[in-house]
Structure 1
Amino acid sequence: MTTLPSVSKTKKKRQSTVWTVDEARRFLEHLRATEGPHYAAYVLILVLGLRRGEVLGLTWDGVDLGGEQLWISRQLTRVGGQLLHRQTTKTEDSTASLPLFGLCVSALRHRQRVQEEARKMAGDEWKDSDLTFTTRTGTPIEPRNFNRAFESHCRRAGVPRIRVHDTRHTCASLLAALDVHPRVAMRILRHSQISMTMDVYTQVPSPVTRKALDRLNERLTTESDG
């Protein structure tokens, strides 16, 4: 005899798999307030919908801050106990650039400063690489450690605990909150038709949330100019 899961257990399992725009904003504000060294990684995951392997494998030669573009050509993953930095499959999605704007550009400029400070602190222990996100000594970030840090930040920020992968589902709502044009959002979300984008581009942020996101961007921009 097969026992079906109870309705209450099924609902519990489905809860807290997607953040609202306000929860995503609270998470990012927590990272900035605590000077999280990988704040920019979370911005890219939430705003551009990058996967964990894509953001951890991102290299500076794939980032054009002046031209406000980003290319995903590599990913960092653990295979058979070995951490590998390898090329992504050559598809249209992996070779096309993604637009960088506002909060993303400011966050990446901030990341450049954080990384340079870490390089100076590490001295001879620093391991040179072109990776955008590294440990304090320049080595690649262990994906499992990234997951653990994410869970810790969820708890400290007071937002529902979700998987790193689940943050992709908040991307469309954040793009709308940041006033990103639907056509640009279509490119970021990698949709083939604008109707697909409009179907998920519906959550209207509150004025408070919109202003809070603007403040995050303004604060980073001011720091970059300083």
Structure 2
Amino acid sequence: MRLLHTDTAKTEASEAVLPLPDICLTALRLRQKEQQAARERADDLWTESDMVFTTRYGTPVEPRNFTREFDRRCERAGVRCIRVHDTRHTCASLLAALDVHPRIAMQILRHSEIAVTMEVYTHVPSADTRRALRKLGKALGGGSKQKKERKEKKGKRKQQKRAEEQAARDGQQES
């Protein structure tokens, strides 16, 4: 059995206030209501703490039980089950996919070094890599749109040249 303990953060920066997206605030408010209802049901059996996730008696959730519940919720939501810690990797990768500046992602994840954020936590899907390479190709003039435009211009020049040659021949025949 793993022992539960609370630690202080590694750095003071880790303790800084971080604004949360509305979806997170909504979830935390819902959790607060659920916890208040559990507190009322438990009455004198409730153990007061500052923890967000507790048992029905206010005590810390044992890590194995937290993981089990996390897995159940992943299955219920129809998403692939991953380790709880991997949600940090998912967050980093989503921030990268949303073109969030790496320094901002580093702050959100509370990393002290950008290399940790970019090299350890951020995973770029191959579809994104292909999309980036297509963009690069287009920027370098090899994009299909530019190719099509060049082909059309070439075709128009050929048509114009043929028309001019035909007009010259027609002019020679009239003389």
- TM-score between both structures, scaled by the size of structure 2: 0.54
Q: Which residue of 1 aligns with 2:5?
A: 85
Q: What is the CA-CA distance between 1:96 and the residue it aligns to?
A: 3.6
Give 1:153's aligned amino acid: R
Pick the aligned partner of 2:58 from 109, 128, 138. 138
Pick the aligned partner of 1:121 from 25, 35, 41. 41
Q: Aligned runs of 1:152-167 on 2, under 5 Å?
A: 152-167=72-87
Higher helix share: 2
Q: What is the CA-CA distance between 1:104 and the residue it aligns to?
A: 2.0
Higher-Rg structure is 2
Q: Which residue of 2 aligns with 1:148?
A: 68
Unmatched tracts of structure 2, length 5 or more:
129-175
How far, CA to CA, are the matches of 2:108 and 2:15 in structure 1?
13
Q: Aligned runs of 1:1-226 on 2, under 5 Å?
A: 81=1, 83-88=3-8, 90-175=10-95, 182=101, 184-189=104-109, 190=111, 192-193=113-114, 200=122
Q: 1:110 to 1:176 in 2, by over 3 A?
A: farther
Q: What is the CA-CA distance between 1:168 and the residue it aligns to?
A: 1.6
CA offset digits 1:168-214 (Å, max 9, x no partner): 2110244467x7953543311326449x66x9497799xxxxxxxxx
How far, CA to CA, are the matches of 1:150 and 1:167 in structure 2?
11
Count of aligned pairs between the two proteins = 123
The higher relative CO (CA closer than 8 Å, separation ≥ 6) is in: 1
Identity %: 54
- TM-score between both structures, scaled by the size of structure 1: 0.43
Unmatched tracts of structure 1, length 5 or more:
1-80, 206-226
CA RMSD in angstroms comes to 3.5
Q: 1:125 to 1:96 in 2, by over 3 A?
A: same
Bigger mean CA deviation after superposition, 157-166 or 86-95: 86-95
Higher strand share: 1
